[in-house]
Structure 1
Amino acid sequence: MDQLLDILVAVLLILGCAMSLIAGIGLLTFPDLLTRMHAATKPQVLGFLLIFAGLAIHLRAWAIVPTLIVAWAMQLLTAPVSAHMIGRSGYRTKHAKKDTLFSDELRQVLDEESTSPVTGAIPVVAERDAPGREER
């Protein structure tokens, strides 16, 4: 039984490391921002899950499982949010190749924002043009 668990741990760790390696290779080889962003988030989260599962089986202690679950949950929550923010800022700064997009939903939102009237703007009065100020 111990040998079977050791084999399972080895397989999980190797697969997790392979997923992390694939994410690193994708970051170096993919051509544009959006595909690199995909490579940085998708396989990395799965790689962490496999590594943490292998670690939990290897340690065989229930005390470490909540810590591993919290660590994986934080990775699961932060990776998509950071990728979303990087993608939006890359799109707005024109680092994303828009001609390769299948569907460009963000362009419609930005076009609506740019055509809507500006609200809440306060006109700035220059100091020299302010009423009640005398010329010297």
Structure 2
Amino acid sequence: MSAIIDLLLVIKPILGAALLLAGGIMGIIGAIGILRFPDVYTRVHAASIIDTGAMTVAIFGMVLLAPTITIVIKLAAIWLFLFITGPTSSHALVNAAYKAGIQPMIGGEARGEKTGTDGGAS
């Protein structure tokens, strides 16, 4: 039994560091996605999904590195707060964009635009 505990004490910090690194890499991938996507709707979607996932993986890594149960409880509260507010704020942002009349891109052009026109300029 002591050998299993010793093994867990060795693996826990390595796994925690790996999860923190994975969360950071996911965040960087999300930032690249935000820059590459064409319109506000796909950008917000990429940011919301990756932000929630990266935050979850990173906080789980922090939980594995936490020295006391008090810190684990605080991290769980932070996770719950971010897990609820992240998608909610993304929804509010997309709803505001929709109400402002920003059209989503469909097939490389905004909905409602005609192909082959130059906007009336001659």
Q: TM-score, normalised by structure 1?
A: 0.67
**1:98 shift after superposition:** 5.6
Counterpart of 1:69 in structure 2 is 76
Aligned to 2:33: 26
Report the RMSD for the aligned CA atoms in angstroms. 1.5
8 Å CA contact 2:31–2:47 kept in 1: the answer is: yes
In 1: Cα distance, 2:93 partner to 2:77 partner: 24
Matches of 1:99 and 1:28, distance apart in 2: 18
For the pair 1:3 / 2:10, whether they are aligned, the reply is yes
C-alpha distance in 2, partners of 1:99/1:51?
34
> What does the per-residue CA deviation read over 1:13-57, in whole Å, with 9 as the maximum and x for residues that have no partner?
111111111221111111111110111111111111111111111
Separation (CA, whole Å) in 2 of partners of 1:18 and 1:74: 22
- Aligned 1:49-128 pairs, distance under 5 A: 49-97=56-104, 99=106
Q: CA deviation at 1:59?
A: 2.1
Alignment match, 1:17: 24
List 4+ stretches of structure 1 deviating above 2 A: none
- Contact 2:16/2:62 (CA < 8 Å) preserved in 1? yes
The unaligned stretches of length 5 or more in structure 2 are: 1-6, 108-122
Seq. identity, %: 29
Name the larger-Rg structure.
1
Q: Distance in 2 between matches of 1:52 and 1:17?
A: 11
Q: 1:11 to 1:72 in 2, by over 3 A?
A: same
TM-score by length of 2: 0.74
Correspondence for 2:114: none
1:11 shift after superposition: 1.5
- Paired with 1:96 and 1:78, the residues of 2 have a C-alpha distance of 25
1:46-91 C-alpha deviation (Å, 9 max, x unpaired) = 1111111111111231110111111111111111111111111111
For these two proteins, the number of residue pairs brought into alignment is: 100
